Amino acid sequence: MSTSEKILLDVKDLKVHFTIPSGGLFRKSGILKAVDGVSFQVRAGETLGIVGESGCGKSTLGRAVLRLLQPTGGQVAWLGQEMGEMQPGELRNVRSDLQVIFQDPLASLDPRMTIGQIISEPLVTHNPDLSKNEVKDKVKAMMAKVGLLPDQINRYPHEFSGGQCQRIGIARAMILEPKLIVCDEAVSALDVSIQAQIVNLLMGLQKEFGLSLIFISHNLSVVRHISQRIMVLYLGRMMEVADREQIYTNPLHPYTKALISAVPIPDPNIERNKEHVPLKGDLPSPLNPPSGCVFRTRCPFAKDICASDVPELKIYEGKREAACHFIEG
């Protein structure tokens, strides 16, 4: 198996359910199925984009993969080893290969720590034998790689802009030279021009270090630019998984079609004449999801079978997958 085909992360039937206590006399306790049976793989050097509306389970999925949340069921294997079966010491060693970049650049940084302390914290934790000078040299080198000035090492987060704070977060995630980074809405809090800079920075680091990325976002234009494969989530379930070009040029699932049609096209003539597939209604509560296909209450093609049977995720055209009762192929 070549490096590009090497499977780093193998997720099978992952579930993350939360028990919601009763809220008084008229509200019963319930189970919120934030992630409900998701399976996918991430290969060395690739970017898997995860898209969907707010509340569909994207961030919960990312945190469960990193074991920041305890899954309710399923398996997460890293380099062939089931992470749920690892001892604390083994899991600690794996954490140096798995890092995360959070949505809010400033809130993810400790305001009491200098930039040097923030970026060096993972390095000191996982490589305690390094001298102070070695740590400082590595931090300055990484700061330069992410577009920060090394002489800013003793400044504090509040002295930086949002884009600079996100660069600090990227440097902290990169300092151990991990194999996989989960980018949890990593650019959604930034201005559009800064988003492009951060995305290009991530792509450059990916190429230099051979990184794999899980890029979580609701911005389909950004996801298209950075991802090789894309997974579409809805109420904690997978609707479709396919290569980038397949998703954007020939989406199979009605939900994917609606998401793609909502992406604006810069050319006004094309935008005016393109087919729009509007989503009707609001996202149902994950505490009380629809029976059968969870998308059926907003789907223009829903039939009786959609209310009674959960559609299986089937393979189409050899390698893409979709879960819908009415896809031909």
Q: Would you state the pLDDT for residue 221?
A: 87
Report which of residues 37 and 24 the model is more confident about: 37
Sign of CA pseudo-dihedral 289, 295, 296, 297: positive
SS3 content of the chain, % helix, strand, coil (to 5): 35, 20, 40
pLDDT at position 31 over 80:
yes
Strand, helix or coil at 202? Answer: helix
Q: Would you state the pLDDT for residue 2?
A: 44
DSSP string, 86-129: --HHHHHHHHTTEEEE-S-TTTTS-TTS-HHHHHHHHHHHH-TT
Q: Is 117 exposed, middle or buried (0-12, 13-18, 19+ CB in 10 A)?
A: middle
Write down the pTM of the prediction.
0.91
- The mean pLDDT value for 68-91 works out to 92
CATH assignment of 3-97+178-322, among 3.30.70.600, 3.40.1280.10, 3.30.1360.120, 3.40.50.300: 3.40.50.300
Q: Would you state the pLDDT for residue 243?
A: 94
Residue with tokens 């729009």: 276
Residue with tokens 């400033």: 106
Residue 149 pLDDT grade (very low, low, confident, very high; cuts 50, 70, 90): very high
pLDDT at position 29 over 90:
no
Residues 46/34, Cβ–Cβ less than 8 Å: no
What residue segments make up the domains of the chain, in order of their start? 3-97+178-322
Residue 238's contacts (CB-CB under 8 Å, 6 or more residues apart) are: 37, 38, 39, 40, 231, 232, 313, 321, 323
User: Cα(49)–Cα(223) distance, rounded to whole angstroms?
Assistant: 6
Residues 70/57, Cβ–Cβ less than 8 Å: no
Q: Would you state the pLDDT for residue 286?
A: 86
Q: Would you state the pLDDT for residue 4?
A: 55
pLDDT in tens, 137-148: 999 999 999 999
Q: Would you state the pLDDT for residue 5?
A: 74
- The mean pLDDT value for 176-194 works out to 92
The first and second tokens of residue 256, run together, are 């994917």
Rg, the chain, Cα only: 21
H/E stretch holding 76 reads strand 73-78
Q: Would you state the pLDDT for residue 24?
A: 62
Q: Would you state the pLDDT for residue 325?
A: 93
pLDDT in tens, 280-300: 888 898 888 999 999 999 998
Q: Would you state the pLDDT for residue 274?
A: 65
Of the listed ranges 119-133, 179-193, 277-291, the least confidently predicted one is 277-291
Beta pairing partners, 320: 316
Question: In terms of C-beta distances under 8 Å and separation of at least 24 residues, what long-range contacts does 248-254 make, across chains too?
Answer: 248/224, 252/316, 252/320, 252/322, 252/324, 252/327, 252/329, 253/295, 253/322, 253/323, 253/324, 253/327, 254/295, 254/299, 254/300, 254/301, 254/324
Q: What is the mean pLDDT of the chain?
A: 90
Beta pairing partners, 182: 100, 214
Q: Would you state the pLDDT for residue 23?
A: 65
Q: Would you state the pLDDT for residue 33?
A: 92
- The mean pLDDT value for 33-54 works out to 95
pLDDT in tens, 92-109: 889 999 999 998 888 889
Q: Would you state the pLDDT for residue 3?
A: 47
Q: Which of 203, 138, 207, 137 is nearest to 175 (CA)?
A: 138
The first and second tokens of residue 318, run together, are 């050899």
pLDDT at position 1 over 60:
no
Using a pLDDT cut of 70, give the percent of the chain over it.
Answer: 92
